[in-house]
Amino acid sequence: DYTFDSEDDSGPLINPSALFVNNTVGYQFDERSMIGFNLEYDYQDRKSLHFMPAYLNFQYHIITSDIPFFIRGGYGRLLNVGTSFEKGTLYKVGLGAQFYDDNYKNSIHLGFDFTRKRFGFKQEDKLSSVSIFLEFMVF
């Protein structure tokens, strides 16, 4: 049987270790679904890794109300744009909510993403991360 002690509460709940900057150009088919092309810069601080993913993503609103909730997924390549950038593949899945402005034109997306990157020799190196995203959508 496991018991909690003072050592269990010695670290932070969330330990930021990466920065992702993403730009998406997309098309919204209807009020539920959209597709987008993403170009992103990722920096992983702990191992000083640089990534430049280019990927397609699909987003689907599972609840359409005043605050719609959505799921999304994406797949793409890690581009080799320089000697310090890793080459490989990426996939991600996420869950979030969309908050509209007063005239329902622009919005903010807030949620969580799980990302898996495969890179290195024969793509045997793997990096998984869970991230909190905050995005601005402009029409």
- CATH of segment(s) 17-137: 2.40.160
> Tell me, what's the pLDDT at 15?
77
- Domains of the chain, by residue range, sit at 17-137
CA atoms within 13 A on the CB side of 116: 7
What pLDDT, on a 0 to 100 scale, did the predictor assign at position 138?
Answer: 83
3-state secondary structure of 121: helix
Length of the chain in terms of residues written: 139
Structure confidence by residue, pLDDT tens digits, 47-69: 899 999 999 999 999 998 888 99
- Taking only the tens place, the pLDDT of each residue in 30-45 is 989 999 999 999 999 8
What digits encode the pLDDT tens for the residues 10-19? 777 777 889 9
Question: What residue has token string 């495969």?
Answer: 118
**Token pair in block for residue 38:** 């993403």
- Looking at residue 52, its pLDDT comes to 97
Tokens 């949620």 sit on residue? 111
